[in-house]
Amino acid sequence: MSSKARQKGILEQLKVGEESSVKELADLFETSDITIRRDLIALSGKGLLVRTHGGAMLPESTGFHQKESRNNEAKGYIGKLAASYVKAGDVIFMDCGSTVFQMCKHLRRLEKLTIITNSLPVVTELLGQPGFTINLAGGEIDAGRKAVHGSVALEHMVRYKADKAFVGVDGFSLANGLSASGEKEASMTLAMGSRAKKTYLLCDATKLEKDSYLQFAAPSLFDFLVTDKSVTTDMINKYRKAGIMMVC
């Protein structure tokens, strides 16, 4: 297979999944890891993909709306389930993840709630809801993720404490813990998780036992892993044996 044909195939493969590893691509195209890495470097130089730790993803995979459109049914289920753990009068952190955003419509049932967030979609969705107090972090706005990030936003977050934190992640594995596609998301997840009495990690089953670019926290950061019904019984048993509190 020519490099041109292989590179075209790599881009088509990345459209199917959020991310592919060098090994997965090497096996798929029956070539060496070195050859795949050269292809990724070439495609990255043209702006056609983003290289990650051990693999690659499409540039648009990092945007909020693209993430929101993936696995909608699973994310909707997780959002509804996570929202059921929120009580009237709670103070909660909500990050900018598309799965966390799915909680919004289910929170409207509450008469009183305080939300501390860096997510512009969360603010847009719940601003003006009677009995709700919305606390938006200040700082630089990431247009793609529609979120506030940076040192000022982090300084804002650590001033507060919450009853519960609801955070998303790009990957989670027992071996390497939580992982993200960049430092911005990781820093905000750490800030929220460390300032809440209970932390809920919202993660659809496709991200379990998957590692993304940046491994940044051990499983001890969260108290509950909220996932969807497609998670296997074997994985549930494996996680529970490791001390992970599963909600699905």
On the CB side of 184, how many CA atoms lie within 13 Å of its CA?
20
Residue 7 one-letter amino acid: Q
pTM over 0.85: no
Residue 49 pLDDT class (50, 70, 90 cuts): confident
Residue 14 carries which side chain, given as an amino acid letter?
L
SS3 16: helix
Among 73, 89, 8, residue whose Cα is nearest residue 43: 8
In tens, the pLDDT along 180-200 reads 988 888 999 999 999 999 999
User: Boundaries of CATH 3.40.50.1360 in the chain?
Assistant: 66-247
**Tell me: the pLDDT tens digits for 20-44?**
889 989 999 999 999 999 999 888 7
pLDDT at residue 210 in the model: 92
Residue 70 pLDDT grade (very low, low, confident, very high; cuts 50, 70, 90)? low
CATH 1.10.10.10 residue ranges for the chain: 3-60
User: Rounded to an integer, what is the distance from CA 50 to the centroid of its chain?
Assistant: 17
Mean pLDDT of 201-206: 95
CATH 1.10.10.10, applies to 66-247 = no
pLDDT of residue 72: 79
CATH architecture of 3-60: Orthogonal Bundle (1.10)
Contact criterion met (CB below 8 Å) for 169 and 89 = no
Sign of CA dihedral 152, 154, 158, 161: positive
